[in-house]
Amino acid sequence: MKENRLSHSGEQRESGKQQVIDTIRAAGSIARIDISTATRVSPATVTAITAELIDVGLIEEIIPDVPRQDAKRGRPRVALKIRGNAHRIAGIKVSHRVISVVLLDFEGNDIVGHEMPLQQACMSVSLLCTEIMNALAQACGKGGFDVSTISGIGVGLAGLVDAKRNFVYWSSSLDERNVDFGAHLAQHTPCPIFIDNDANLVAKAEHLFGKGQNVSDFVVITIEHGVGMGIVINNEIYRGSRGCGAEFGHTKVQLEGALCQCGQRGCLEAYVGDYALLREANITNGGVGHRDLGQLVEAAQSGDQMACSIFDRAGRMFAMGLANVVNVFDPKLIILSGARLSFDYLYSEQVIQEMQRWVVQVDAPSPEVLVHSWGDLMWAKGAAAYAIEEVSALAIRELASSEK
């Protein structure tokens, strides 16, 4: 009984510290009394917690600049902020032909960004680990420091990922399934590693830095080589019980339909992903012709009927998928994100109107659909933001444990 009380007490201390540091991070800088108000934790407890966080170097005091006339009225309130130099964090996005790396300080400020081309899209576990570490080493070299100074690494992969276990069920970047990828990557670096589905990390980036700021419930749909989705519910990423939730690209739109890169048939991605569009175009052309999506888009713009019909069907399939997302989740906002959004065939006015036609009709407007086309470095920043949260939680856990 006594052990249970001690355990509960330790969890309360850890929760209190995490709540305080999260409040400071969200505010940027904030006075102790305002932390107390925001968290509903007593001023005395906030003072004690912040003193510990200062002692271990996670936060620091700043004295705000005040006009001279105000300074005469008394000592200005000291604010607290995250100490940027406390940790250096890496965020990595593995895409079809490039690895993107962003290095941030603990406060979330950019230090350096770097992109390294990949010679092949799908590879062995050992080779992908090597390539990730090569890209990280190049980024660190660009910044003038060593990989050993990194406190945590966030990695975003396309595919089915259990973030809690750093376990990859399937990824288009790997030539085998069911891989304890975190354990493999840990053999190459001494710092903690945090792996998640890349679309979840785009949702994280949108929530912190993009069009999802100050929105508690929204959906991000990513359109790259494949199609992904990240869901934010009540300001938290939804991952599902196995880490396989929100696999929008692998929702079924056709019984026994086109073959998807995941190995199943009839997935939305098999009609919308760039590889699927090129596959159909080249089968129709007898295997000769279009090497990339841009070339196929140019053909459609020039009036090629075959290309036009491929994009027309992709748009209608995508509209059906969007309508299903709205009917299931009823989000406040849908954000379409990814490099393929430089082409508008998936978010044309016609596609959005078709989506609205298939949404369950009620006497209220449909969710807003926004387009946010940003590069892989911003996806990597979402991975870094995830790693910052996890490194922060580890530091709080260690601090709480040392008090037992």
pLDDT in tens, 184-220: 999 999 899 999 998 899 898 888 888 888 888 999 9
pLDDT at 76: 65
Q: Across the strands, what pairs with 168?
A: 161, 179
Is the pLDDT score of 341 beyond 80?
no
Is the pLDDT score of 379 beyond 50?
yes
User: Among residues of the chain, what percentage have pLDDT more than 90?
Assistant: 50
pLDDT at 105: 96
Six token digits for residue 48: 């004690």
Cβ pair 13, 400 in contact under 8 A:
yes
Is the pLDDT score of 79 beyond 50?
yes
Single out the residue of 42, 197, 216, 29 nearest to residue 107, CA to CA. Answer: 29
Q: What is the pLDDT averaged over residues 282-296?
A: 72
pLDDT at 67: 59
| Whole-number Å distance between alpha carbons of 112 and 135 | 12
Contacts from 399-403 at CB under 8 Å and sequence distance 24+? 399/17, 399/52, 399/53, 399/56, 400/10, 400/13, 400/14, 400/17, 401/10, 403/10, 403/13
Is the pLDDT score of 400 beyond 80?
no
Lowest-pLDDT choice from 4-8, 55-59, 210-214, 357-361: 4-8
Q: CA 273 → CA 225, 248, 384, distances in Å?
A: 6, 12, 26
Torsion angle (degrees, nearest 10) of CA 197, 202, 204, 208: 160
pLDDT at 162: 93
Six token digits for residue 404: 């037992």
Q: What is the pLDDT averaged over residues 17-38?
A: 93
Six token digits for residue 32: 């102790």
Cβ pair 133, 154 in contact under 8 A:
no
Indicate the pairing of strand 227-233 with strand 236-238. antiparallel
Please report how the helices 349-358 and 305-329 are oriented relative to each other, as an axis angle in degrees rounded to 10: 40
What is the residue type of 265?
A: R
Cβ pair 35, 80 in contact under 8 A:
yes
Side-chain-side CA neighbours of residue 219 (13 Å): 23
88-98 pLDDT, tens digit per residue, is 999 999 988 89
Enumerate residues 6+ apart whose C-beta is below 8 A from 224: 95, 96, 158, 274, 338, 339, 340
Please report how the helices 305-329 and 274-284 are oriented relative to each other, as an axis angle in degrees rounded to 10: 150
Is the pLDDT score of 23 beyond 90?
yes
Identify the band that residue 283 occupies on the pLDDT scale cut at 50, 70 and 90: confident
Sign (positive/negative) of CA torsion 298, 303, 306, 311? positive
pLDDT at 58: 95
pLDDT at 391: 95
pTM of the model: 0.83
Q: Average model confidence (pLDDT) for the chain?
A: 87
| Whole-number Å distance between alpha carbons of 355 and 76 | 54
101-142 pLDDT, tens digit per residue, is 999 999 999 999 999 999 998 999 999 999 999 999 999 999
pLDDT at 346: 77
231-256 pLDDT, tens digit per residue, is 999 888 998 887 777 788 888 888 88
Lowest-pLDDT choice from 43-57, 83-97, 390-404: 390-404
| Whole-number Å distance between alpha carbons of 260 and 222 | 17
pLDDT at 293: 81
Single out the residue of 189, 201, 118 nearest to residue 159, CA to CA. Answer: 201
Cβ pair 98, 339 in contact under 8 A:
no
pLDDT at 6: 43
| Whole-number Å distance between alpha carbons of 179 and 379 | 23
